Structure 1
Amino acid sequence: MVTIYDIAQKANVSAMTVSKVINNTGRISEETRRKVKKVMEELNYIPNSNARSLVLQQTQILSLLITDITNPFYTSLARGAEDGAKQYGYRLLFGNSDEDYAKEKDYVDMILSTRVDGVLFAPAGDLSLKNLEKLRAHNIPFVIMDRAVPGIESDMICGDSKEGARKLVDYLIGLGHRRIALVNGSLDVSTARLRYEGYAEALALQGIPLDETLIIHQNYRDYHADDHLEQLLEQPSPPTAIFAANNVLAVGVIRDLRERGIRVPEDISVVCFDDLDLSSALDPFLTVAAQPAYQFGAMGIQLLVERIRGSSVPESRKVILPSELVIRSSAKPI
Structure 2
Amino acid sequence: MKSAVTLQDVAELAGVSAKTVSRVINGDQAVTDKTTQRVKKAITALSYTPNPHARSLRTGRDQAIALVVDSISDPFFAALAEGVEEVAREAGLFLIVANAGDSATREREVVDSLLHRSISGLILVPCLLSYDASTSPFGPRGVPLVVVDRPLEDLNVDTVLVDNSESAQRAVAHLIAHGHRRIGFVGTTIERYTARERLAGYRAALEAADIAFDPSIVAVTPYKSPAERSHVEFLLSGPDPVTAIFVADARRSLDVVRILHQINRTDIAYVGFDDLVVAESLNPPLTVVRQDPLEIGRTAANTLVSRIRGDQRPPERLVLSTTLVVRGSGEIRPPIFRPLSTTQEKTA
- The alpha carbon displacement at 1:321 in A equals 0.3
* 8 A contact 1:243–1:270 mirrored in 2: yes
2:66 alignment partner, SS class? strand
1:129 alignment partner, SS class? coil
- Normalised by the length of structure 1, the TM-score is 0.76
- The alpha carbon displacement at 1:62 in A equals 0.7
- The alpha carbon displacement at 1:64 in A equals 0.6
Matched with 1:306 is 306
Matched with 1:291 is 291
Matched with 1:130 is 131
Matched with 1:112 is 115
Q: 1:246 to 1:129 in 2, by over 3 A?
A: same
Q: Within 5 Å, give how 1:1-334 maps onto structure 2.
A: 56-57=59-60, 59-124=62-127, 127-130=128-131, 135-136=137-138, 139-259=142-262, 261-264=263-266, 266=267, 268-277=268-277, 280=279, 285-311=285-311, 313-331=312-330, 332-334=332-334
Q: 1:92 to 1:281 in 2, by over 3 A?
A: farther
2:199 alignment partner, SS class? helix
- The alpha carbon displacement at 1:190 in A equals 1.5
* 8 A contact 1:98–1:221 mirrored in 2: no
- The alpha carbon displacement at 1:227 in A equals 3.5
- The alpha carbon displacement at 1:320 in A equals 0.5
Following the alignment from structure 2 to structure 1, what is the Cα–Cα distance between the partners of residues 109 and 230? 33
* 8 A contact 2:131–2:154 mirrored in 1: no
- Normalised by the length of structure 2, the TM-score is 0.73
Q: How many residue pairs are counted as aligned between the two chains? A: 276
- The alpha carbon displacement at 1:166 in A equals 0.9
- The alpha carbon displacement at 1:110 in A equals 2.1
Structure 1 gaps, min length 5: 1-51
Following the alignment from structure 2 to structure 1, what is the Cα–Cα distance between the partners of residues 71 and 247? 17
* 8 A contact 1:220–1:249 mirrored in 2: no
Matched with 1:3 is none
Q: 1:185 to 1:207 in 2, by over 3 A?
A: same
Matched with 1:22 is none
* 8 A contact 1:58–1:117 mirrored in 2: no
- The alpha carbon displacement at 1:84 in A equals 0.9
- The alpha carbon displacement at 1:226 in A equals 3.2
* 8 A contact 2:227–2:256 mirrored in 1: no
1:149 alignment partner, SS class? coil
Q: 1:186 to 1:131 in 2, by over 3 A?
A: farther
2:204 alignment partner, SS class? helix
* 8 A contact 1:149–1:190 mirrored in 2: no
- The alpha carbon displacement at 1:128 in A equals 1.8
Following the alignment from structure 2 to structure 1, what is the Cα–Cα distance between the partners of residues 166 and 56? 44
- The alpha carbon displacement at 1:117 in A equals 1.1
1:106 alignment partner, SS class? helix
- The alpha carbon displacement at 1:140 in A equals 2.2
What amino acid sits opposite 1:275 in the alignment? D
Following the alignment from structure 2 to structure 1, what is the Cα–Cα distance between the partners of residues 77 and 236? 31
* 8 A contact 1:68–1:221 mirrored in 2: no
Matched with 2:43 is none
Structure 2 gaps, min length 5: 1-54, 335-348
Matched with 1:26 is none
* 8 A contact 1:72–1:275 mirrored in 2: no
Q: Deviations over 1:251-292 (max 9, x none)?
A: 111112223x2332x2x1221111113x54566821111112
Following the alignment from structure 1 to structure 2, what is the Cα–Cα distance between the partners of residues 285 and 75? 24
2:129 alignment partner, SS class? helix
- The alpha carbon displacement at 1:209 in A equals 0.3
